[in-house]
Amino acid sequence: MNETYDVAVLVGSLRKESFNRKVANALAELAPPELKLEIVEIGQLPLYNQDLDANPPAAWKTFRERVKRADAVLFVTPEYNRGIPAPLKNAIDVGSRPYGQSVWNDKPGAVVSVSPAAIGGFGANHHLRQSLVFLNVPAMQQPEAYIGGADKLFDASNKLVNEGTRKFLQAFMQSFAAWISTNAK
């Protein structure tokens, strides 16, 4: 791969000490050099309301433009009640509208779910994948990434200290780079 790809990273948790943000930062650090990851903030997005499509809020415009210019998208999400958190669902909705102008269309993607629980956000991972099918996001199938025990993966300075997880995430990012190269438009 000679090309560099811009990857928009959406973190589903807004919490200051979010395990998901820590994993997203670790993924950026472990990514191969051809991937440039940037977290795109979603907490400031007003709730999607179709009535606002004629004159969208500035935050919507900025978000849509940023995602549209990305070559790929990486979702890093916790699981809330067996699904994705409201801020992430809202970001997906904001980016998919107005109808026919979705910023997600044909953008290669991947999903990483993160949780302190043992099953690593399995429900959220698959809940999000259902939306990605409708949005025509070719989502990487393998390797799947369910990161459990997230509360034990980082030291006090937010450095990933679990070597097994580090190796897995590095391999995941190598696979994602290949996926993007194959599916980028």
Q: What is the pLDDT of residues 62-88, one digit of tens each?
A: 999 999 999 999 999 999 999 999 999
Tokens of 15: 């919490």
| Radius of gyration in angstroms for the set of CA atoms belonging to the chain, rounded to a whole number | 16
* Tokens 């194959």 -> residue: 182
Whole-prediction pTM value?
Answer: 0.95
Mean pLDDT of the chain: 95
Domains along the chain with CATH numbers: 5-183 (3.40.50.360)
Q: What are phi and psi of 75, to 5 degrees?
A: -100, 130
pLDDT in tens, 81-130: 999 999 999 999 999 999 999 999 999 999 999 998 888 889 999 999 99
pLDDT over threshold 70, residue 36: yes
Distance (Å, whole) CA 153 – CA 148: 9
Report the relative pairing of strands 72-77 and 109-114 from DSSP bridges.
Answer: parallel
pLDDT in tens, 141-150: 999 999 999 9
Amino acid, res. 57? P
